[in-house]
Amino acid sequence: MTLRFYDSATQEVRDFLPLVPGQATVYYCGATVQGSPHVGHVRSAIVFDQLTRWLAYRGFETTVVRNVTDIDDKILAKSEASFEPGFVPEGTYRPREQWFALAYRYEQEFEAAYETLGVQRPTYEPRATGHMTEMHELIARLIERGHAYPAQDGSGDVYFDVRSWPEYGALTHQSIDDMQAATDVEAQFKDRKRDPRDFALWKGHKAGEPETASWPSPWGRGRPGWHLECSAMATKYLGARFDIHGGGLDLRFPHHENELAQSTAAGDGFANFWMHNGMVTFEGEKMSKSIGNVVSPAEMLELASPRVVRYYLGQAHYRSVLDYRPTSLQEAAAAVERIDGFIEKARARTGTPVSKAADDGAGTARGAAEAAVPPAFAAAMDDDLNVPQALAVLHETVRRGNTALAEGDVEVAGQALDEVLAMTSVLGLDAAGTVGRTSDDVAHRALGALVAAQLAARAEARAAKDWAAADAIRENLSAAGILVEDSSDGATWSLAQPQISTTGTGA
């Protein structure tokens, strides 16, 4: 077994050799909670959930950190914009939503989306506002080493000196002279910097900003720059060097480039691998609110089940562009229906209980290790997380299982069922939409008992050649969304897949 991943820094697929044998440490960028989650956020979370599930399946003791940026220029701007002049009936102005309340509200939206789509909670999920001490220490180290400087006007700003670090640009393979100016400092304060590309480590508190959005520091009250927090939190929870740093391709520059520069300039080894997932487009075009082609996770979940949405967002190779079309969820639903149809029939034929995954621990990637995935599936996942090839193995196993069921080979069908359950668990497909799983299982067992009674009555009617009664039972079940299939071994049933609407997609 050799895991290989593409490293954005070296621009090649390399063998994954963990820094500590048997352990894997992963940091991936979470949300800046200044708005509702968009589909790019969720795709990235699913990609790194697939990665960490696979690392766990392969036996690594995996520590995962996903940050929350809960203080940022955009958060403050959204809070300021929430004030609406005009009188409410009581004759008072509508109060502004405090920045921390706004950030927390959006953070909960992200958490709900992650949970609904089966993204496992990380080992640690630190907030930027809880790590000022670590950030101050990192800034002090950079100043001491000559790679950062406080603004000379007493504003409290502190900047990273990009010219002081010869390796600046190593992640994106750019020369400093070809880079754009840093945009994290207001244009009117650009003269505080030695070079336009110097980026803010600490931003001094300015008149008109909420006092609550600033913290004391050796350089005056202020708040952290965007890039600083990830370096401080990654090293706190994973150490000065760790295995994998991940995030969306849009974060590669300047965010990850600046993280790498400030951490290594401070003397930390930082990430051994950099992994970046591709973007989501709409019929070949970048999603944009101005164009009106943005599709949010919430809109997708109105059109399809969480398992279908997760399947769609996780089906492409993580480094490729995922293109959304109005038919995308229909296609994903058809694929999920094929998988679920086999699972339902195979469970009924082999006597496997609906709650088997929950009962034996197969509902997690680690627990699924007890039921081995096919070698071809494992080889695909080991090869730079090749999910498209892994899904091809999954669907081939479903076809093999269906053939075995048609031929009455219960043993082969049972083996295929075990493999399918193991693969869907590793891919997290069994985790999406599982809020309230226990009550759902109870309901499914109750439904199964009722359907079994109806099928038994239908079998008696057929034996008595009462075809009208038998047809009526089948039609009643069909009207209730129950599909009945007859074979030489008797009748089996499955739930019909609901139709997916294409309205509301922004097309």
Question: pLDDT tens digit string along 142-171?
Answer: 999 999 999 988 899 999 999 999 999 999
Domain-terminating residue out of 262, 277, 292: 277
Task: Give helix 375-382 / helix 387-406 axis angle, nearest 10°.
Answer: 170
**The two three-digit tokens of residue 423, written as one number:** 């693969």
Q: How confident is the model at residue 490, as a pLDDT?
A: 66
pLDDT tens digit string along 436-448? 444 445 455 556 6
**Is residue 5 one of the residues assigned to a domain?**
no
Q: Which of 245, 277, 309 is the last residue of a domain?
A: 277
End residue of a domain, out of 277, 297, 313: 277
Q: What are phi and psi of 286, to 5 degrees?
A: -60, 135
- The residue count for the chain: 507
Q: Is residue 282 part of a domain?
A: no
Grouping H, G, I as helix, E, B as strand and the rest as coil, residue 490 is strand
Q: Is the pLDDT of residue 488 over 80?
A: no
Q: What is the mean pLDDT of residues 11-19?
A: 97
Which CATH number does the domain housing residue 260 bear?
Answer: 3.40.50.620
Task: Say how many domains are in the chain.
Answer: 2
86's tokens? 């005009």
pTM of the model: 0.84
Report whether 277 contacts 43 (CB < 8 A). yes
> Would residue 363 count as lying in a domain?
no
Angle at 194 between CA 193 and CA 198, to 5 degrees: 65
Pair of tokens at residue 120: 């496992």
Residue 148 domain flag: yes
Q: Is the pLDDT of residue 64 over 60?
A: yes
Domain of 48?
14-277
Q: What Cα–Cα distance (Å) separates residue 37 from each residue in 44, 63, 93?
A: 11, 24, 29
**Is residue 301 included in any domain, yes or no?**
no
* Residue 489, domain member (yes or no): yes
What is the Cα–Cα distance from 477 to 459, expressed in whole angstroms? 14
Summary mean pLDDT of the chain: 88
